[in-house]
């Protein structure tokens, strides 16, 4: 890798880290629904993973996880009611729930994109599918771990099951659609810019 390419990669990584932090630590990236939050933080993580590769994506996923962990601890904005209940029972489980799904997002996105392109899919189709896969990975694993941890800590999991399922279906579906609509043109534009340099 040439020095200019390394500098470009580091600059892009820093920009994506700053974007994830900005979205995660302000109301811009989290849409509070009272009992749970819907997020757009996965979008820069997916874009970064597809542009920078899995290693860069993992750095961004880790940033997303750290921001999510801070939010779970009420820094700088209060956590959702469901997270607060679990936090009262087991902060370590909340940290796992906040970190693990976020680390899986870039791996899933990159994996789906590579798999589809190996099978001959057009770049735009593989980007859209990988964005949807990354968004759904975030939703399914985050809410799935929340339900599992509610059960393990003897909190009333049946009371939250409907809320989690509803949020997963509505919020997760919306997050996936938005991800596909945003990620595809942004990645294609960034790749065009990189080819010119």
Would the CA dihedral through 140, 142, 148, 154 be positive or negative? negative
- Residue 142 has a pLDDT of 93
Question: Given this model, what pLDDT does residue 35 score?
Answer: 59
Tokens of 153: 């800590």
> What are the tens digits of pLDDT across the range 178-195?
999 999 999 999 999 888
Task: From 139, 134, 149, select the one nearest 169 (Cα to Cα).
Answer: 139
Lowest mean pLDDT among 37-41, 96-100, 132-136, 188-192: 37-41
- The secondary structure of 26-94 as a DSSP string is STTSEEE-SSSEEE-THHHHHHHHHHH-HHHHHHHHHHHHHHHHHHHTTSSSPPPHHHHHHHHH-HHHH
* Interatomic CA distance for residues 83 and 37, integer angstroms: 10
* pLDDT reading at 121 higher than 70: yes
> Of 32, 19, 8, nearest to 84 (Cα)?
32
Q: Are 144 and 112 in contact (CB under 8 A)?
A: no
Q: What integer pLDDT is reported at residue 120 of this predicted model?
A: 94
Q: How far apart are CA 65 and CA 96, in angstroms?
A: 9
pLDDT, the chain, mean: 90
**Taking a C-beta distance cutoff of 8 angstroms, is the pair 159, 130 a contact?**
no
- DSSP code string of 125-171: HHHHHHHHHHHHHHHHHHHHHHHHHHHHTT--HHHHHHHHHHHHHHH
Q: What are the tokens at 122?
A: 């057009």
pLDDT, tens digit, 9 for 90 and up, residues 21-64: 999 888 888 776 655 667 889 999 999 999 999 999 999 999 99
pTM greater than the 0.75 cutoff: yes
- Mean pLDDT in residue range 14-22: 95
Q: Give the number of other Cβ atoms within 10 Å of residue 72's Cβ.
A: 19
Backbone φ and ψ of 39, nearest 5°: -125, 160
| Residue 24 CB coordination number (10 Å) | 25
CA 184 to chain centre: 16
Confidence bin at 6 (pLDDT 50/70/90)? confident
Average pLDDT of the segment spanning 66-71? 94
Are the CB atoms for 40 and 29 separated by under 8 Å? yes
Structure tokens at 63: 């940033």
* pLDDT recorded at residue 79: 85
Distance from the Cα of residue 106 to its chain's centroid:
8
């Amino acid at each position: 890798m040439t020095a200019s390419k390394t500098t470009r990669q580091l600059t892009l990584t820093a920009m994506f880290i700053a974007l994830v932090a900005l979205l995660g630590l302000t109301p811009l990236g989290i849409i509070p629904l009272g009992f749970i939050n819907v997020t757009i933080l996965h979008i820069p993580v997916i874009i970064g993973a597809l542009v920078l590769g899995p290693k860069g994506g993992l750095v961004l996923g880790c940033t997303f996880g750290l921001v999510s962990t801070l939010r779970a601890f009420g820094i700088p904005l209060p956590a959702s009611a469901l997270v607060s209940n679990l936090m009262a029972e087991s902060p370590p489980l909340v940290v796992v729930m906040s970190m693990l799904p976020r680390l899986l997002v870039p791996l899933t996105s990159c994996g789906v994109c590579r798999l589809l392109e190996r099978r001959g899919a057009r770049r735009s189709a593989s980007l859209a599918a990988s964005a949807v896969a990354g968004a759904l990975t975030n939703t399914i694993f985050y809410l799935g771990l929340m339900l599992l941890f509610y059960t393990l800590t003897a909190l009333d999991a049946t009371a939250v099951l409907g809320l989690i399922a509803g949020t997963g279906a509505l919020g997760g579906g919306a997050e996936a659609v938005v991800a596909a609509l945003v990620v595809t043109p942004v990645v294609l534009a960034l790749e065009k810019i990189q080819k010119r340099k």
